[in-house]
Amino acid sequence: MSLPRFPLYIDGAFVEAAETFESLDPSTGRAWALMPAAGEADVNRAVAAAERAFHDPSWAELTATQRGRLLTRLGDLVARHAGRLAELETRDTGKIIRETTAQIGYVADYYRYFGGLADKVEGAHLPIDKPDMEVFLRREPIGVVAAIVPWNSQLFLSAVKLGPALAAGCTVVLKASEDGPAPLLEFARLVHEAGFPKGVVNIITGFGEPAGRVLTSHPAVSRVAFTGGPDTARHILRNTAENLAHTTLELGGKSPVIVFADADLESVSNAIIAGIFAASGQSCVAGSRLYVERAAHDRLVDILKAKAARIRIGDPQDQASEMGPLATRRQYEHIEAVLARSVAEGATIVQGGRRPAGLPEGWYFEPTIVLAAGNGIPCVAEELFGPVLSVVAFDDEPQAVALANDTRFGLASGIFTTNLTRAHRLIRRLRAGIVWVNTYRAVSPIVPFGGYGRSGLGREGGAESILDYTRTKAVWIRTSDDPIPDPFVMR
């Protein structure tokens, strides 16, 4: 039986790549579609199209308000076609249909937000120290943007790049991950329908070599926006040494959640379950390190074990499923290996830790809870990107802060306590780009998103993110009617 084929989207047209590869359904492990593998020539065509479109009057001479209307129209199309996009994301990545439908529906609001922001970027008048001069600043689009996203939450992660880039007047080559690219390749049809001039948005997929390398090192690329792993980020930084492209990196995390004994443990447990087992733990902000005050440790662990054991694992297309499979076989094998090392070094698995019964195909993994003595255990220190919660007890506030900050990452964090003064103390002390207090995993287009340390460089989302897609131009105007004096006559 022939498999459905997905094309690239370059210069306003849907085109075939010279090579294809099979995309695997994570719930079965079997091929379900053929994806285009962009080669060097495909990438060069996409960047050339974006560079040409950047200067073409059909895009370059649009007003900011007109660009905003295009983005708003794109948001409306995303909302209208959320069901189709969600179905494809679930099929290609294994995320449950309830989650993909809800998330993609909210992604529409990101495009509407950035659409409204497009004509809010302002310059400035400078009170210059020279009486015969007027100086003002303009904000102008930076140029061609290379946007690279992973398979997880790819429509959201694309929106926080495409939205501000297009609002600012840039053009974009968006590279979807080779793991589960179907929803972004389908999203290209909505870009086309929205009416963006050809070449303004180009959507490709392919492998790091050659597609990723050629794209991020291309001399016509002025800006790289990347979300993914630290190893790939290092390659990108080396590649951008060739074109000196301005670069932002969002690299995931190993986010701590701190629970004090005064918290409502029943309520807290729901936030923790959502924070680590939603999307099968395959979220950059997953609350994978849980630090619990010793007086509440055993009770909270018992509550979490009972709730994790009741999670319905199954076909991600089934509305009744609460957790689906991991996205790739290598992720499944990585988690197994890290858990084995953790147990060998003294950790105890108290829930899960294996393939669920009755699901012999695909890459399903049980929601797993591990008790550990400290941060030295592999499952506590390493980003697993899966449904594994590591639990460590602490005795006092300084120890909790020290444990939480003992990491190379710094994307997100959570605090649960009814003591407001304590919460404010910890907000100041936690080294993380996001601090949630008595909640977890909330997002909004209005709020910046990004981390400290090895969680990356820069921020996405919020009003300021559009400025990262602009350059400042200083304009000097001489206001005196007097002749310019001879520069060689000293006065």
- Catalytic residue IDs: 250
Report the C-alpha gap between 36 and 5 in whole angstroms: 8
Query: What does the DSSP assignment read for 138-152?
Result: EEEE--EEEEE--ST
Task: Residue count of the chain, please give it.
Answer: 491
Residue 187 CA: distances (Å) to CA of 167, 437, 447: 18, 35, 24
Element (H, E) at 337: helix 329-344
- 457, 410, 417, 416: which is closest to 434 by C-alpha? 410
Find out whether 466 and 164 touch, Cβ atoms under 8 Å: yes
Pair of tokens at residue 220: 């016509």
Report the C-alpha gap between 180 and 37 in whole angstroms: 13
Report the C-alpha gap between 184 and 284 in whole angstroms: 19
Residue 360 CA: distances (Å) to CA of 101, 274, 277: 26, 25, 20
Find out whether 126 and 60 touch, Cβ atoms under 8 Å: no
Give CA 94 to chain center in angstroms: 17
Pair of tokens at residue 371: 């008790």
Find out whether 276 and 341 touch, Cβ atoms under 8 Å: no
Find out whether 114 and 166 touch, Cβ atoms under 8 Å: yes
Strand order of the sheet with strand 8-10? 13-15, 8-10, 201-205, 171-176, 144-148, 221-227, 246-250, 456-457
Query: Cβ of 253: how many Cβ atoms within 10 Å?
Result: 30
Query: Cβ of 66: how many Cβ atoms within 10 Å?
Result: 12
Report the C-alpha gap between 139 and 121 in whole angstroms: 7
- 431, 435, 463: which is closest to 448 by C-alpha? 463
The strand ranges marked E within 26-141 are 30-37, 124-126, 133-141
The CA-to-CA distance between both ends of the chain, in Å, stands at: 88
3-state secondary structure of 120: helix
DSSP class of 287? -
Report the C-alpha gap between 319 and 254 in whole angstroms: 29
Query: Cβ of 337: how many Cβ atoms within 10 Å?
Result: 11
Give CA 247 to chain center in angstroms: 14
